[in-house]
Amino acid sequence: MIYTITANPSIDYVLRLKELVPGEINRTNNDVKLPGGKGINVSRILNELQLDSTALGFVGGATGSSFEQLLKKHHLQTDFTQVADDTRINVKINATEQKQETEINGGGPVITDTEKQKFFDQMKKIGQGDVVVMSGSLPQKVETSFYLDIAKMIQKNGADFVIDTTGQALLDTLPLHPLVVKPNNHELADLFKTDLDTEQDIIDHARKLLEQGAKHVLVSMAGDGALLVTKDHAYKANAPKGTVVNSVGAGDSMIAGFVGTFMKTEDPIESFHQGAACGSATAFSQDIAVKEKIDEVYQSINITKLS
Ligand SMILES: Nc1ncnc2c1ncn2[C@@H]1O[C@H](COP(=O)(O)OP(=O)(O)OP(=O)(O)O)[C@@H](O)[C@H]1O
Ligand SMILES: O=P(O)(O)OC[C@@]1(O)O[C@H](CO)[C@@H](O)[C@@H]1O
């Protein structure tokens, strides 16, 4: 079973308007509310790929109930930890004429020690053959070692994990050998406090994450495609041409495509191909991509061996 952990899920309130003028009253042309959060997006893509997963995380208050209501129509298997404080609302603003996407993400609910303990207790059921995908920010009063603590707990029982976070929290988990990590090119540069000007620079620094323990490194590069770096080789996936509608969740979709396919095939190249298809398909969709779009985009992705 694949478990996704979204410690800080959200209602994504996606607003479309022609132009965003800060400091003025702006009115939208169209708006939608989506069940959001990185792990939730991963579970939704897995569902599209007909792969089972269980979504875990902290959900609470009136916004938590709306979030669960929004999620219902996607028929995901969930086992959320109920908390007293409110699930956050994240605002995503697509200014179509400016071709700009602005995101304002809330801090999330305060999680009490008892609620956290309830969550940790759930980790006991995860074991051999399971993969846990942990991603996204942490809600308030949750210590930065949260993902590391979980990785240690589940690994003791023989489960694998995937982590999509940034900075020191990511580096700390590498010695535990995550199945895959997926910084984008900017996050990778920040990790090493440097600029990465060429593809070779990116590959060299991705390789440092392998040296520190990651089993596979994906580097997503938005409209420039993505790289897969393994111990011996580096591969590139092109970003197919298409109209970007809402790229929120493209990175999560890429992880879902990679992990879901890897669980079935153990083939990193095919997993990369499917991951890239899921990422671009979501960028070309208003919401997280559906299977038909993923299958269509898959046909226009080529994987090239760079070294
Ligand atoms: N404009 C685009 N055109 C085609 N493909 C895209 C585009 N944007 C994203 N993708 C695909 O999706 C992948 C993941 O996107 P991106 O690099 O934006 O991830 P991210 O920074 O983690 O995003 P997010 O945090 O919003 O999910 C890219 O590597 C690429 O394959
Ligand atoms: O604030 P975080 O947890 O880092 O990111 C949350 C978020 O921006 O990530 C998803 C897209 O990747 C959205 O569904 C959600 O709103």
Q: Cβ(251)–Cβ(279) under 8 Å?
A: yes
State residue 69's pLDDT score: 97
State residue 246's pLDDT score: 86
CA 17 to chain centre: 26
Does the structural domain 180-307 have CATH classification 3.40.1190.20? yes
- Give the active site residue among 201, 252, 287, 295: 252
What atom in ligand 2 is closest to the CA of residue 34? 14
Cα–Cα distance measured from residue 107 to residue 298, given in angstroms and rounded to the nearest whole number:
35
Stretch 43-68: mean pLDDT: 98
State residue 267's pLDDT score: 97
Cα–Cα distance measured from residue 172 to residue 174, given in angstroms and rounded to the nearest whole number:
6
What atom in ligand 2 is closest to the CA of residue 36? 14
Per-residue pLDDT tens over the stretch 40-51: 999 999 999 999
CB of 42 closer than 6 angstroms to any ligand 1 atom: no
Ligand 2 centroid from CA 244, angstroms: 18
Torsion of CA 127, 147, 237, 76, to 10 degrees: 60
CB of 57 closer than 6 angstroms to any ligand 2 atom: no
CB of 257 closer than 6 angstroms to any ligand 1 atom: no
Stretch 37-65: mean pLDDT: 98
Stretch 244-267: mean pLDDT: 96
Percent of the chain with pLDDT over 90: 97
| Residue ranges of domains in the chain | 1-164, 180-307
Torsion of CA 187, 190, 196, 202, to 10 degrees: -50
Cα–Cα distance measured from residue 143 to residue 141, given in angstroms and rounded to the nearest whole number:
6
Stretch 276-285: mean pLDDT: 98
Stretch 286-305: mean pLDDT: 97
Per-residue pLDDT tens over the stretch 71-105: 999 999 999 999 999 999 999 999 999 999 999 99
Does the structural domain 1-164 have CATH classification 3.40.1190.20? yes
Cα–Cα distance measured from residue 221 to residue 250, given in angstroms and rounded to the nearest whole number:
11
Mean pLDDT of the chain: 97
CB of 41 closer than 6 angstroms to any ligand 2 atom: yes
Asked if domains 1-164 and 180-307 share a fold, the reply is yes
Ligand 2 centroid from CA 232, angstroms: 32
State the pLDDT confidence band at 30, using cuts at 50, 70 and 90: very high
What atom in ligand 2 is closest to the CA of residue 252? 12
Which of 248, 252, 254, 278 maximizes ligand 2 atoms within 8 Å of its Cβ, making it the mutation to test the pocket? 248
Nearest to 14 by CA among 97, 101, 139: 101
Q: Cβ(17)–Cβ(95) under 8 Å?
A: yes
Per-residue pLDDT tens over the stretch 125-184: 999 999 999 999 999 999 999 999 999 999 999 999 999 998 999 999 999 999 999 999
CB of 202 closer than 6 angstroms to any ligand 1 atom: no
> For atom 15 of ligand 2, which residue has the closest CA?
37
State residue 182's pLDDT score: 97
Rg value, the chain, Cα = 19
Ligand with the closest atom to the CA of 103: 2
Residue 252 falls in the annotated catalytic set = yes
pLDDT exceeds cutoff 90 at 231: no
CB of 108 closer than 6 angstroms to any ligand 1 atom: no
What atom in ligand 1 is closest to the CA of residue 222? 17
Its pTM stands at: 0.97
Cα–Cα distance measured from residue 294 to residue 221, given in angstroms and rounded to the nearest whole number:
18
Nearest to 32 by CA among 58, 70, 87: 70
State residue 91's pLDDT score: 98
CA 6 to chain centre: 9
pLDDT exceeds cutoff 90 at 197: yes
